[in-house]
Amino acid sequence: MASGNFGNEDASGYNHPQSRGLLGAGWRPLNRDIDWGFLWHIVSTDTWELSRKALDIASDIADALGRNEFTWWANILNVFSEHTRYELDEFWNYITPEPPAPDYRFKDVLNIETPVAQLVSRTSIPIDYVLNKLQEITILKILELLGKPDIITQYYLERYFYYPVERFVNWERLETIGTVFAYWSQYGVWLQIDRFDRGRKQYTLIAQNLAPLINKATYNLAVILSGYKSRVGQVHSQFPIRTFPADIQSFTDAVQQAILDQNQLAVLVYGDPGTGKTAWTQAVAKEILVPLGYVIFILDHDAVENFVPPSYLERICIIINEADNLAQNRASLAAQGNTKTEHILSLLDGTLYQSVIEESGIQSQQKLVILMTCNTTERLDPAVLRKGRVDLMYEFHHRFVE
């Protein structure tokens, strides 16, 4: 990484009001130091450009000193004029390395514009808002897990500033005018902050491997996508698995083993209302999937048609309740005019799921579990029950909720 002087610097030359605002907020001018390896690289590979720039700066100094109409001491002062100093700074910046910055070739990039705005209308379900909120929560939790960075720099008006790490409190209180960079050497993670109008900022995390931090940040998170009740929270399970009948507990053991063995699993449970199907999916999510690091998504109604699994998550569980009302037989009149059945089939097939992975590239080996409930399989589209789409099925007989 390039070197730089992060000690106290003279603030002269930073006369722009916003630059003075940065200095008042605790930022300090960053002095670029000589790196002999970097300088030798320029001497050996860019000799002509180095010679040209050196002659240009020598010519500027000679012009400043050689004026006949002024006294010698006035000519010496002219060497320190704003123009000459600017040329000297340009030459110094050329022969010294820039402060460290992100390597944009890193494969894992996660970003969000914050604060996330919610746009709700009578004709739209705020799915994008909730998914963006989940991404915002993930990034902010990762930053909390990372703690204080090793370096914090800001580039503004062709100048570099640094913020003393020991004075850092949190990212919300850090004055941002230009582009801010931060680095954690222990994790190999970069943060880039870009400021927009009206106080909005974009946080971008860049690393070779963000998965371990994402898994920690999203532990025990659940998302419900159901009209205006859409929100991010945690799974609530009223009934533990051990309270279910013995046959359902045995089926649950088979489901748990399949979750451990397979990268993609679809489970369908059916039975009369009150037999505990929904309570069972919540119990499985809480007691089996959450400890394994799965993020839970509960889909309902129109959310099924618009949901795409977030590609940055390593393990995802999708719960679809009342699947017989959503994945209805496409031959029936009730199923005409909507794409819910096709979307559920694409989730079960993994086609939509895999296409998202391939486009994003942040996760190449995601694990997906789909838990579906329905009162009867008779109304389901036959394609849902076709071999290879649903791995495990079980009928709930016992009255569980009166």
Euclidean distance between CA atoms 23 and 29, whole angstroms: 8
Instruction: Using a pLDDT cut of 90, give the percent of the chain over it.
Output: 38
Mean pLDDT of the chain: 81
Q: How confident is the model at residue 45 (pLDDT cuts 50, 70, 90)?
A: confident
**Which range has the worst mean pLDDT, 59-63, 171-175, 188-192, 203-207?**
59-63
Comparison of pLDDT for 385 and 125, the residue scoring more: 385
The torsion angle over the Cα atoms of residues 228, 229, 230 and 231, rounded to 10 degrees, is 130
Q: What is the mean pLDDT of the segment spanning 362-373?
A: 78
Tens-place pLDDT, residues 77-86: 766 666 677 7
Name the least confident of 122-131, 195-204, 263-272: 122-131
Q: What is the mean predicted confidence (pLDDT) over 5-19?
A: 52
| CATH architecture, domain defined by 218-396 | 3-Layer(aba) Sandwich (3.40)
Q: Kindly report, residue by residue over 158-189, the tens digit of the pLDDT.
A: 788 999 999 999 998 899 988 999 999 999 99
pLDDT at 12 over 50: no
Query: Over 50: is that where the pLDDT of 8 sits?
Result: no
Give residue 223's pLDDT band: very low, low, confident or very high (50, 70, 90). very high
pLDDT attached to residue 329:
54
Listed residue (52, 2, 9) closest to 29, CA to CA: 9
pLDDT of residue 28 exceeding 70, the answer is yes
Q: Which among 312, 290, 289 is positioned nearest to 220, based on CA atoms?
A: 290
Domain ranges of the chain: 36-95, 108-215, 218-396
In a 13 Å sphere around the CA of 369, the CA atoms on its Cβ side amount to 29
CA angle 190, 234, 326 (to 5 degrees): 105
Cα–Cα distance, 87 to 48 (Å, whole number):
18
Pairing of strands 189-195, 151-156: unpaired
Residue, of 258 and 5, whose pLDDT is higher:
258
Q: Pick the closest to residue 290 from 225, 371, 219, 224 (CA basis).
A: 219
CB of 182 within 8 A of CB of 101?
A: no
CA triple 49-53-55, angle to 5 deg: 115
Please name every residue paired with 180 in a beta bridge, in sequence order, or none if there are none: 154, 193
Segment 118-147, tens digit of pLDDT: 765 555 556 788 889 999 999 999 999 999
Q: Residue 11 has what pLDDT? A: 42
pLDDT at 2: 45
Flag whether pLDDT at 76 surpasses 80.
no
Residue 352 has pLDDT above 60, yes or no: no
Residue 42: which H helix or E strand, with range? helix 36-45
Task: Decide: residue 318, CB within 10 A, 0-12 exposed, 13-18 middle, 19+ buried.
Answer: buried
